[in-house]
């Protein structure tokens, strides 16, 4: 029983960290729709193919 709980805990931690990483990546980066390269969210143009990453070109701040 204890082993099953340990396995469950390990799966939860692994799954949780994977989700967290995915969420973090989603939050911090924008994936280019043309070439699929990850770009920092503050960028307006892709560093790979220079295509526009966002619809609005205005910077918020
Ligand atoms: Zn690109």
Question: Is the model's pLDDT at 61 over the cut of 90?
Answer: no
Question: Is the model's pLDDT at 57 over the cut of 80?
Answer: no
- Please give the distance, rounded to the nearest whole angstrom, from the Cα atom of residue 28 to the centre of ligand 1: 16
Number of Cβ within 10 Å of residue 52's Cβ equals 13
C-beta of residue 18 within 8 angstroms of C-beta of residue 6: no
pLDDT score recorded for residue 46: 97
- Please give the distance, rounded to the nearest whole angstrom, from the Cα atom of residue 19 to the centre of ligand 1: 25
CA distance 59 to 61: 6
Dump pLDDT digits (tens) for 23-54.
999 899 999 999 999 999 999 999 999 999 98
**CA neighbor of 54 nearest in space, from 35, 27, 23, 31:** 31
C-beta of residue 39 within 8 angstroms of C-beta of residue 54: no
């Amino acid at each position: 029983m204890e082993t099953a709980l340990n396995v469950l805990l390990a799966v939860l931690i692994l799954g949780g960290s994977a989700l967290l990483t995915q969420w973090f990546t989603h939050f911090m980066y924008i994936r280019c729709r043309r070439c699929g390269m990850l770009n920092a969210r503050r960028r307006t143009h892709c560093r790979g193919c220079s295509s526009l990453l966002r619809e609005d070109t205005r910077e918020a701040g």
